[in-house]
Structure 1
Amino acid sequence: MNLTDALLDSWDRQCRILTAVASRITPENQGAKPSDDGWDLLTQLAHIHKVRWEFLRNVAPDLAEGIDDGYAGGWEEPVVDLETAKSNLDKTAAAVREAVRRGLENGIEQFGWYDNPVLFLQHMIWHEGWHVGLIFLALRRAGQEPPQEWEEEKVWSEWRIEVWEG
């Protein structure tokens, strides 16, 4: 596997993790928050999408075209329902992947606000990992924390090849 394929694979893995975590969010628990003053679960998903969309507009505007940002007038109020939020994540996942692929294959050094496409990708993965942690915390506070076996299968096994024995 070459470096470009390995980096894109890391993004695909991150997206599978986020999709799995998002599947734990339902209409019944979407209002759960990681803290009393935190964002609810629906807003966490909408925010991840909005960040992808905003940064795509900077690094590959053509890939952001036709994708709704999911918010009403800025960053304060998501206007999407849960299924739309999940669908939006699929759209921006593909667009971020394509932007990074293009940047790497074309040898682009300056990549929007980033020194290179790899730093853009790392920022996206780090940002989403932060929000996945907040989502898990909100689920825990709502009494719906995923079991360790689920986390191992759906999250940690995406990053490593060892078999977890529990």
Structure 2
Amino acid sequence: MPEAPDQSLLDALLDSWDRNNTILVNLLHAIPPSGLEARATPTSHTVSEMFTHLHHERMVSVLEEAPEFAGEVPSQEWVFEPDPHRIAGMLNESAGRVRDAVRGRVEAGRALDLHYDHPILLVQLLIFHESYHHGQIKLALKLSGRPISDDEAGPLTWDVWRKRQGHG
């Protein structure tokens, strides 16, 4: 662990984490009616269950890696939640806990407790993991006849990544 973190790099990393969460919540709010029930195959998890899994994974990761930033971990991992606003609240809470854990550990010059050579690797793993499920969610919606068009998805996803800070 470096002794003095480069604050601008840490800020850029945490901004990418915030953007990732914004994209995930945007996707959630773009899901058409009954889309939370969609599955890619009859034995696949529902779209709702994938979102609650992401929240659970974040909360478990913080508990294992930086417990001083942990909150209450849901007792179950793959839970069907019918209320998109409740799911959004869960995702925003867990995103904040990950953000605080990574910032806190980097600024303190402390490694995480269990895995990873550096705290920023947790953010990178979670972005990778969530991108994987983002694709699964879009595929489940498409296969169930409830697709989100590229015209609709673009501003909610790619445009969030491309937006320059301070440029509206």
Contact 2:58 2:126 in 1 (8 A): yes
Q: Which residue of 1 aligns with 2:4?
A: none
Contact 2:49 2:80 in 1 (8 A): no
CA distance in 1, matches of 2:146, 2:81: 23
Q: Which runs of 5+ in 1 are unaligned?
A: none
Q: What is the TM-score normalised by the length of structure 1?
A: 0.84
Q: Which residue of 2 aligns with 1:109?
A: 111
Post-superposition Cα deviations, 1:89-130, rounded to whole Å, max 9, x if no partner, equal: 111011111111112211223453111111111001000001
Return the offset for 1:159: 2.0
Return the offset for 1:154: 0.9
Q: Which residue of 1 aligns with 2:54?
A: 48
1:142-157 equivalence runs, <5 A:
142-157=144-159
- Number of paired residues? 157
Residue type at the aligned position of 1:78: V
Q: Which residue of 2 aligns with 1:59?
A: 65
Q: Which runs of 5+ in 2 are unaligned?
A: 1-6
Return the offset for 1:27: 6.0
Q: What is the TM-score normalised by the length of structure 2?
A: 0.83
RMSD: 2.1
Post-superposition Cα deviations, 1:32-64, rounded to whole Å, max 9, x if no partner, equal: 012232110110011001100111111222322
More helix by share: 2
